[in-house]
Amino acid sequence: MAQATTTIRHIMSYQPHHGDWFASNQALFNQIASFYFAVIQAHIMVLDHPKKEALTILETLTHTTQRNPNPAMPLSDIAQDIPAYFRRAAIHAALGSAHSFHTHLQKWKQRKEKAIVKGKTFHERPPVPPRTWNKSVTLYQGMWKERSNKSIMIKVWTGVCWSWIKVRITGRELPSDVESGSPSLVRKGHQWWLHTPVEKQFQNPGKIATQVTTNPQTKICAIDLNINENLAVCTVQTVEGTILATKFIKGGKEISGFRKRQLGHIARNRSRTGIMAESQQDNTDLWKKIRQVDEQCAHRISARIVQFAQQHQATILVFEHLGNLKPAKGKYSRRGNSKRAYWMKGRIFTYTKYKAYTMGMLTSRVSPKNTSRECACCHHLIVRYHAGQPAEGYTSGAPLAFCPCCGMKGNADRNASLVIGQRLRERYDPQEKPQALRRVLKNTGVAVSQDAGCEEGPSILIAGHGDTNEHGTAQDALFRMDEHSSDIPHQLRFLF
Ligand SMILES: [Zn+2]
């Protein structure tokens, strides 16, 4: 079984003074967590034990009971009458921090030793234990009850005593097919939220390689992300190459226009106010607006991609790797806009990946090299042009594509998305591998000049041919496929 975890957030409505209670509750929690961190530091071997045992050891060290009347470092010295599950949540928080700190420390020591062995000077400072504690309170069982979709009862430290209070919660319902974990009280600004982690169990989808090689009915959804109007172009194809569906997800112009206007406002405001103080955020509201719209757009697009893939029973999503950022030249708003459009592509990928995973779909990426220049039918270079223009040359970003070799005509972004899907299939199918084929041939050229007996390279190509003319065969295939690599046959010929 596979599992996916996500957090469901509910905003809480409560009386104004309850906000102060939540704050004192959190302060107490952190005081105890910090105390346990100190206990762990004093008994470092605790970290070698599994979580449950570590918890028992720490409780024996600190918690006074009839059987354990004199613990080494009593918790009662700093706080009285802490509910058991509040204490345990704090212990787990402290254990988490301690593990993290000691892992960092170990790594730092290793780096230092390495540097000393090499005779280099080592200036890096060692990691320090947390100076302040600001953990959110996790509510283990016993600290909350009577949870419904609208409200929850929680037990908090008011600063004076422990008290049960009822708070209203607003947000989406917890899905029914999931297992929910312990909720936590999270402060964001002046508002308190209830975060509930939920874990979904589902059938393990199986590795991409297995799916593609064993089941010819496997459906792949290939996605080409753009910064023009068609933000995402998705095509669903089977492993055998049948194209089943296409979807254009639009809205690029709108978001880009909006962003450009806001960046323009920021630029104008800046030119008016003159020099800014360093490390001081200007135009806070405008930046916030841009961030929120970008974020919302990335979520919307990714959700629609996953929805489309699910409609057509695709089990694998494939994207291309993001190329390097090529910022546009021009005004501040133009440069900033293209940078943000690029970041948004990355965000759409990340969000799609996790959303798809909870639906049992896996995500992969392929090389972005020439995906938009290659013909999906015959792999020759295509012509891109605007409607109403002659079909020749290559206008980057133009919407129409034409292949002079096979006569393919269509939308350039759709063609790119088909190529992306093909690349994934080619990865697992040695028969259908034009790119790798070229590489094999090139390697053969080099390998042959070093070692004439090398057979590894062309063996894929010459399956079914006799041994006598294997290099000749490779050479013919090469001429048919790729005229530009004419330097390679020379090497081959030279040797024979
Ligand atoms: Zn073609």
- Domains in the chain (CATH in brackets) are 2-200 (no CATH), 208-366 (3.30.420.40), 434-495 (no CATH)
Structure tokens at 373: 């220049």
Three-class SS state of 481: helix
State pTM to two decimals: 0.65
CA of 471 to the centre of ligand 1 (A): 28
The string of DSSP codes covering 2-50 is EEEEEEEEEEEE--HHHHHHHHHHHHHHHHHHHHHHHHHHHTGGGGGS-
The confidence band for 278, taking pLDDT boundaries of 50, 70 and 90, is: low
Distance CA 123, CA 314 (A): 52
CA of 379 to the centre of ligand 1 (A): 6
Structure tokens at 338: 């293209």
Structure tokens at 194: 């209830």
Structure confidence by residue, pLDDT tens digits, 361-385: 999 999 988 888 899 888 888 999 8
CA of 481 to the centre of ligand 1 (A): 13
Distance CA 212, CA 227 (A): 30
Three-class SS state of 346: helix
Distance CA 294, CA 340 (A): 8
Give the residue ranges of DSSP H helices in 274-367: 284-311, 332-358
| Low-confidence winner among 147-151, 185-189, 334-338, 440-444 (lowest mean pLDDT) | 440-444
Is the pLDDT score of 485 beyond 70? no
CA of 393 to the centre of ligand 1 (A): 15
CA-CA-CA-CA dihedral for 307, 311, 317, 318, to nearest 10: -100
Structure confidence by residue, pLDDT tens digits, 398-428: 889 998 888 888 899 999 999 999 999 888 8
Burial of 35 (0-12, 13-18, 19+ CB in 10 A): buried
- DSSP letter, residue 484: G
CA of 382 to the centre of ligand 1 (A): 7
Closest to 4 (Cα-Cα) out of 363, 346, 365, 356: 356
CA of 394 to the centre of ligand 1 (A): 15
Structure tokens at 181: 């974990």
